[in-house]
Amino acid sequence: MKIWIRAIVAIGVPVLVGILWLRVLEAPERVENPSLESLIGEVGTGFAPLDDDWRLNPPQDHGAHPETRGELWNLALWLEDTSGARHWIQFNLARLALSPAPVERASGWATNHLYRGQLVRLSDGDRTTRAQERLSRAALGLAGASVEPPRVWLEDWSFESAADPDRLMVKVRGGETQLDLILTQDKPALAGDRLQLFARERGDPGVHAYLLSRLSVTGTLGVDGRILPVRGSAWLDHAWGGIGADQGRLGLNRFAVQLDDGRDLICLEIRRQDGSGRPIPSCALIHADGAIQSFQRRDLALEATRSWTSPRTGRTYRLDWRLAIPLLDLELALRPLVEDQETDRSARLWSGAIRASGRQGERPISGVGRVELAIAPDQP
């Protein structure tokens, strides 16, 4: 089975953005700026299999797992400043190991790891997203990871565990968007297999993954030189292992929603890239107390009602989704804040902010979320 399919089907945690990023890291010809050709040697194989008996161990697992081939930290932030303006931010870090057995070299430029970072912001009034990107070897202190404290950095961007094990810190400097945030867990970390998305049990040790579906956020946001106090919420996905290698014939759409009633919703949809076959969705609802309610394809309906074509890439994405879970008498509409959120043009991915609204029974429900769409352009 393709590795990334294993990651999704067997483990169940969505790591879409990072997977596509790592593909880019492995396919430098697809990266327009900056070029990776000078950084990448021959990408090695032969990494040791992951431990079958792995159990999630935060906060240590928030840090890097450098013995593995690839690793992803995907953070979605919904922030509001003191003026009431809203800011939607994605902060993504990816690590790729070049060899399972690196040769010791004296050069300070010697490295076995590449890091890529991306920061995407969409603020009230914006009609499209603003993106910043970093790419570096883990050499000369430019990028890297430490175990104690658990920390990952890419030049002056960093993600780390605070002294309080329930807190994380994010720092982003040096660009038009800057962050200095403290994230506090509102719900415990969940290993991916607990979501029961598609798979009944962990079927493959190729990827380890977990998510923190709800964190409270406080700190500051720097926008064009102005420092704004902000509060809000965040969602973190973190995965590591054999991810990143395959160009599959399947595509994946992913939906992560924080509902105002304290529940979080995650849905995945697998489809063939050529448009044939039938889509396979699966969803899990993470309750305020951490309890998980999961649903198979036959328990739900997930369908797009509109498509949008990127004026830059010509690629068509399905937007405006409708989710129904009859067992819960729940219906949700998932609509993008703006259409133009094709945030990673090299990876051909629409990854953007959405607003959710609908009902459960007679009770209105709403929320905010992030949708990642990587399915081939066919009509809904």
Partner 1 sequence: MTIDAPLIGRIGRMGRAQRAHPVRSEAQDTGYGPGLRRLGSWFGPLLATLLLTGLAGCDSGTSPRDGIAKAEVGRVPAHPQRPGDPARGYEAFVNRSIVTCGIPYGVYRRLREGGPTETHQPVPGRTGRNAELPYGLTAHVAASGVELVTSNCLACHAAPINGRLVIGLGNEFLDLTVDPLLGIEAAGAIAMNEAERAEWTRWADRITAISDYMMTDTIGVNSASNLTLALMAHRDPKTLAWSNRPLIEPPPEKPLPVSVPPLWNVGKKHAMFYNAEGRGDHVRYMMLASTTCTDSVEEAAAIDAWFVDVRAYFTTLKPPEYPFPIDPGLAERGYALFQETCKECHGTHGEEARYPNKVIALGKVKTDPMLARKGFGEADRFLRWFQSSFYGELSQAAPALGYIAPPLDGVWATAPYLHNGSVPTIAALLDSRQRPTYWEFDRAGDDQPAYDRDRLGWAYRSLDHGKAGAMGWDERNRLYDTGLSGYGNQGHTFGDDLSDPERTALIEYLKTL
Residues that bind partner 1 (CB under 8 A): 1-2, 5, 9, 196, 198, 200-201, 203-204, 248-250, 270, 272, 277-278, 280, 291-299, 327
Q: Closer CB to partner 1, residue 116 or residue 271?
A: 271
Q: Closer CB to partner 1, residue 269 or residue 339?
A: 269
The Cα 121–Cα 223 span in angstroms is 10
Cα dihedral 214, 218, 222, 226 sign: positive
The Cα 159–Cα 93 span in angstroms is 9
Q: Closer CB to partner 1, residue 5 or residue 374?
A: 5
Q: How far is the CB of 280 from partner 1 (least distance, A)?
A: 5
Q: Closer CB to partner 1, residue 21 or residue 295?
A: 295
Q: How far is the CB of 199 from partner 1 (least distance, A)?
A: 8
Strand partners, 131: 120
Q: How far apart are the first and last CA of the chain?
A: 27
Q: How far is the CB of 56 from partner 1 (least distance, A)?
A: 18
Q: Closer CB to partner 1, residue 272 or residue 322?
A: 272
Q: How far is the CB of 66 from partner 1 (least distance, A)?
A: 24
Q: Closer CB to partner 1, residue 98 or residue 211?
A: 211
The Cα 347–Cα 324 span in angstroms is 30
Cα dihedral 337, 342, 134, 71 sign: positive
Structure-block tokens of residue 71: 């690793």
The Cα 20–Cα 342 span in angstroms is 13
Give the number of other CB atoms < 10 A from CB of residue 307.
14
Q: How far is the CB of 200 from partner 1 (least distance, A)?
A: 5
Q: How far is the CB of 20 from partner 1 (least distance, A)?
A: 17
3-state secondary structure of 369: strand
